[in-house]
Amino acid sequence: MDGDSSSCAIAYFQASGVVGGKMTSLQKRPQVIRDLIELATYIAEDHMDASDRFLSAAEDIFDNVDENE
């Protein structure tokens, strides 16, 4: 994975619109997609099911963040 591990998670997102000072939607930046693929591929080398669970959990978290913004 590229980048500084101390960077905050919000750096992985960009607002697709702002209404009344609130973000209307978040989109994953290209780097987060590359990082997720890299991590999932690494995990899948030993545990395919765990890799699937990792990607599913990540997507659930992103959906939760988007809903709560």
Q: For residue 9, what pLDDT band results from cuts at 50, 70 and 90? A: very low
The answer to whether position 15 is within a domain reads: yes
- Per the prediction, the chain carries an average pLDDT of 73
pLDDT at 44: 95
Total domains, the chain: 1
Q: Which domain holds residue 19?
A: 9-68
The answer to whether position 31 is within a domain reads: yes
Nearest alpha carbon to residue 15 among 29, 34, 5: 29
Collapsing DSSP states into helix, strand and coil, what is residue 8?
Answer: coil
Q: For residue 7, what pLDDT band results from cuts at 50, 70 and 90? A: very low
The answer to whether position 14 is within a domain reads: yes
The answer to whether position 2 is within a domain reads: no
- Tell me the β-bridge partners of 15: 26
